[in-house]
Structure 1
Amino acid sequence: MLNFVWRQLRGRAGRSVALLVGVLVATTGFVVLTGATTTSRLAVTGTVEQSTAAAYDILVRPKGARTPLEAERRLVQPNYLSGLFGGITTAQYERVKAVAGVDVAAPIAMLGWSTARVPTPLDLTDAVDRSLDRQVIRVDPRFVAERGLSAAPGRPRYVYVTTHPLIHPRVDLPQSSDATPYTDGRSYPWVAACGPAPREVLPDGRTRAVCDPRYALGSPGTYSELDEWSLVAVRLRPDGRFEAGAGVLADAGPGSSSASDRLRIAVGLTVPLLLAAVDPTAEDRLVGLGGAVVDGRSLRPDDTASVRSAGSSELLNVPVLATNRPFVDAELRAHFTRLPAARPAGVDRDELERALRRGPTLAAGEGRGDVVAGWRGRLSAGVSPDGCCSGQLQAMVQAGPTRYDRLPDGTLRVGAVAAADPQVYGDQQTFNPYPRPWLAGDTGARVLSRVPLKQGSRSSPPYRGWRAVGVFDPGRLAGFSDLGRVPLETYEPPAAQGADAASRSALGGRPLEPGGNPAGHLAAPPLLLTSLASVPQLLAGGGSPQVGAPISAIRVRVADVGGYTEQSAERVRLVAERIAQATGLDVDITLGSSPAPQAVELPAGSFGRPALRLAENWSALGVASVITKAVDRKSVALFVLVLVVCALFLGNAVAAAVRDRRSELAVLACLGWPARRIGALILGEVAALGLVAGLLSLGLAFPLGAALGIDVGWRRALLAVPVALLLALVAGLVPALRAARAHPAAALRPPVATARWVRRPRTLAGLALANLARTPGRTLLGSGALAIGVAALTLVTAAGYAFRGAIVGSLLGDTVSVSVRGADTLAAVATVLLGAAAVADVLYLNIRDRAAELATLRAVGWTDAALARLIGYEGFLLGVLGALAGAALGLGGAAWLVGGLPGALVLVAATVAGAGVLVTCAAALVPAALLRRLPTARLLTEE
Structure 2
Amino acid sequence: MFRFVWRQLRGRAGRSVALLTGVLVATTGFVVLTGATTTSRLAVIGSLERHTRASYDILVRPAGSRTPLEAQRGLVRPNYLSGLFGGITTAQYDQVKALPGIEVAAPIAMLGHADQIISGSLDLTGAVDPSLDRQVIRIDLTFDTDRGRSVGRAAPRYLYLTKHPLIRPDFSGPPGRKLRYTDGSEHAVDACGREYAVPREVQPDGRSLPVCDPFAVASDGAAGSTMSELDMTSLSAAHLRPDGRFEFGPARRGKPPAPTDRLLLPVGVSVALLLAAVDPVAEDRLVGLNGAIQDGTPLPPDRRPARVDYSSWGQATEFPVLATSRPFVDGSVSATYRQLVPSGIAGLPADTVGAALATLPGRPAGGGREDFADRYLGDIRDLIERPGECCGGVLDLVLQAGPVDYDEGPDGVLRPRTVTVDPSVYGSEFVIRRQRSWLADDRSFRPLNQVPTSIGDEALSHSWRPVGTFDPLRLTGFDDLSRVPLETYEPPTVEGADDRSRQALGDRPLLPNGSPGGYLSAPPLLLTNLASVPDLLVGAPARQRKAPISAIRVRVADVDGYNERSAERVRLIAERIATTTGLDVDITLGSSPAPQTVDLPAGAFGRPDLRLTENWSALGVASVITKAVDRKSAVLFALVLVVCALFLGNAVTAAVRDRRAELAVLACLGWSARRIGALVLGEVATLGLAAGLLGVGLAVPLGRALGIDVEWDRALLAVPVALLLALVAGLTPALRAARAHPWAALRPPVAATLRAHRTRTVAGMALVNLARVPARTLLGAAALGIGIASLTVVGAVAYAFRGAVVGSLLGDTVSLDVRGADTLAAVATVLLGAAAVADVLYLDVRDRATELAALQATGWTDGALTRLVGYQALFLGGLGALSGAGLGLGGAAWLVGDLPAALVTTAALAALAGVLVTCLAALVPAYLLRRLPTARLLAQE
Q: How does the TM-score come out when normalised to structure 2?
A: 0.91
Q: 1:571 to 1:804 in 2, by over 3 A?
A: same
Whole-Å separation in 2 of the counterparts to 1:122 and 1:623: 50
- Identity, % of aligned pairs? 65
> Could you tell me how far apart the structure 2 residues matched to 1:445 and 1:334 are?
30
Give runs of aligned pairs for residues 451-850 of structure 1, distance below 5 A: 451-457=451-457, 463-488=461-486, 490-540=488-538, 544-666=542-664, 675-676=673-674, 678-756=676-754, 759-850=757-848
- In structure 2, the residue matched to 1:371 is 372
CA distance in 2, matches of 1:432, 1:46: 61
Could you tell me which of 210, 228, 232 is aligned with 1:228? 232
- The structure-2 alpha-carbon separation of the partners of 1:683 and 1:360, relative to structure 1 and needing over 3 Å to count, comes to same
Q: Distance in 2 between matches of 1:344 and 1:309?
A: 38
The alpha carbon displacement at 1:689 in A equals 3.6
Aligned partners of 1:700, 1:171: CA distance in 2, in Å? 95
Corresponding residue for residue 303 of structure 2 = 303
Aligned 8 A contact 1:394 1:432 in 2: no
Report the counterpart of residue 876 of structure 2 in structure 1: 878
Spell out, residue by residue over 1:283-307, the C-alpha distance to the aligned partner (whole angstroms, 9 max, x if none).
1122111111111111122122124
Displacement after TM superposition at 1:516 (Å):
1.9
Deviations 1:615-653 (A, max 9, x none): 433322232222211110110110111111112212222
| Number of the residue aligned with 1:417 | 419
**Aligned partners of 2:793 and 2:889 also within 8 Å:** yes
Asked whether the 8 Å contact 2:324–2:526 carries over to 1, the reply is yes
C-alpha contact 2:310 2:390 (8 A) present in aligned 1: no
Q: Aligned to 2:220, which of 214, 218, 221? A: 218
Residue identity matched to 2:232: E
Write the letter of the residue equivalent to 1:399. Answer: A
Which of 219-228 and 839-848 deviates more? 219-228
For residues 23 and 644 of structure 1, the distance between their equivalents in structure 2, rounded to whole angstroms, comes to 13
Alpha-carbon deviations, 1:686-730, whole Å to 9, x = none? 444434433443343344333433222333233233333333333
Cα gap change, 1:258 to 1:308, in 2 (>3 Å): closer
Please list the CA deviations of residues 210-268 of structure 1 after superposition, one character each: whole Å capped at 9, or x if unmatched.
556676522475111111123444556677665533699xxxx9996345555443311
Aligned partners of 1:335, 1:455: CA distance in 2, in Å? 44
Say whether residues 1:430 and 2:430 are aligned partners. Answer: yes
Q: Distance in 2 between matches of 1:7 and 1:95?
A: 81
Deviations 1:736-789 (A, max 9, x none): 443344234433443334233675544333322222222222212211110110
How does 1:248-397 map onto structure 2 within 5 Å? Answer: 257-258=257-258, 262-307=262-307, 315-339=316-340, 344-345=345-346, 347-381=348-382, 383-386=384-387, 390-397=392-399
**C-alpha offsets along residues 459-492 of structure 1, whole Å, 9 cap, x if unaligned?**
x666111111110000001112333333346423
Compared CA separation, residues 305 and 342, structure 1 to 2 (3 A): farther
Instruction: Please state how far the C-alpha of 1:57 moved relative to its aligned partner.
Output: 2.3
Superposed CA offset, 1:546-582 (max 9, x none): 2212112222222223333333333222222222222
Which residue in the other structure is 1:93 paired with? Answer: 93
Change (3 A) 1:139 1:937: same
Structure 2 residue identity aligned to 1:546:
Q
2-structure distance, mates of 1:401, 1:837:
60
Give, in angstroms, the shift of residue 393 of structure 1: 1.0
Q: Which residue of 1 aligns with 2:68?
A: 68
Q: 1:269 aligns to what SS in structure 2? A: strand
Q: 1:262 to 1:821 in 2, by over 3 A?
A: farther
| Distance in 1 of aligned mates of 2:256 and 2:704 | 77
In 1: Cα distance, 2:256 partner to 2:488 partner? 38
CA contact (8 A) 2:23 2:691 kept: yes
Name the stretch that deviates more: 926-935 or 550-559.
Answer: 550-559
Aligned to 1:43: 43
Asked whether the equivalents of residues 213 and 229 of structure 1 are also in contact (C-alpha less than 8 Å), the reply is: no
- Determine the C-alpha separation between the residues in 2 that align with 1:237 and 1:12: 117
Assess if the C-alpha contact under 8 Å between 2:171 and 2:254 holds in 1.
no
Structure 2 residue identity aligned to 1:608: G
Q: Structure 1 counterpart of 2:157, which letter? A: R
| Matched residue type, 1:633 | R
Does 2:860 align with 1:862?
A: yes
Structure 1: distance between partners of 2:693 and 2:348 = 106
Determine helix, strand or coil for the equivalent of 2:14. Answer: helix
Give 1:279 shift: 1.3
- Out of 744-753 and 96-105, give the one that drifted further: 744-753
Instruction: Report the alpha carbon displacement of residue 360 of structure 1 after superposing the two structures with TM.
Output: 4.0
Normalised to the residue count of structure 1, the TM-score between the two structures is 0.91
Partners of 2:460 and 2:230 lie apart in 1 by: 29
1:847 counterpart letter in structure 2: V
Change (3 A) 1:819 1:432: farther
1:29–1:206 CA distance, 2 compared to 1 (3 A): farther
Aligned counterparts of 1:345 and 1:688: Cα–Cα separation in 2: 117
CA gap 1:13/1:176 in 2 versus in 1, 3 angstroms = farther
**Any idea what SS the aligned residue of 1:60 has?**
strand
One-letter amino acid matched to 2:285: R
The answer to whether the 8 Å contact 1:108/1:553 transfers is yes
Aligned partners of 2:668 and 2:741 also within 8 Å: no
Q: How does 1:22-37 map to 2 (within 5 A)?
A: 22-37=22-37
1:158 paired with 2:162, answer no
- The verdict on how the C-alpha distance between 1:343 and 1:862 changes in structure 2, with shifts beyond 3 A counting, is farther
Q: What SS class does the counterpart of residue 233 from structure 2 fall into?
A: coil
Distance 1:256 1:651 in 2: 104
Q: Deviations over 1:803-850 (max 9, x none)?
A: 222343333233333432222122112111110111011100110111
Q: What letter matches 2:23 in structure 1? A: V
Structure 2: stretches of 5+ with no match in the other structure = none
Aligned twin of 2:892: 894
For the structure 1 residues 461 and 565, does the alpha-carbon distance in structure 2 shift closer, same or farther, using more than 3 Å as the test? closer
Amino acid at match of 1:146: D
RMSD: 3.3
Q: Amino acid of the residue matched to residue 245 of structure 1?
A: G
Shift in CA distance, 300/377, structure 1 to aligned 2, threshold 3 Å: closer
Q: Distance in 2 between matches of 1:934 and 1:133?
A: 115
- Say if 1:162 and 1:716 are closer, same or farther in 2 by CA, change over 3 A: farther
Give the aligned residue type for 1:227.
D
Which letter maps to 1:425? Y
Aligned-partner residue type, residue 225 of structure 1:
E
Secondary structure in 1 aligned to 2:913? helix
Letter in 2 for 1:393: L
Is residue 198–residue 233 contact of structure 1 (8 Å, CA) maintained in 2? yes
Letter in 1 for 2:646: L
Within 2, Cα distance between the matches of 1:348 and 1:744? 131
Q: What is the rounded CA distance, in whole Å, between the counterparts of 1:864 and 1:473 in structure 2?
A: 80
Aligned AA (2:394) = Q
Checking the alignment, whether the CA contact within 8 Å between 1:593 and 1:623 is kept in structure 2 is yes
2:828 partner letter? A
- In structure 2, the residue corresponding to 1:33 is in which secondary structure? helix
Deviation at 1:329, TM superposition (A): 2.0
CA shift, 1:439, in A, is 0.6
Query: Contact conserved, 2:649 with 2:729, CA < 8 A, in 1?
Result: yes
- Contact 1:595 1:620 survives alignment (8 Å): yes
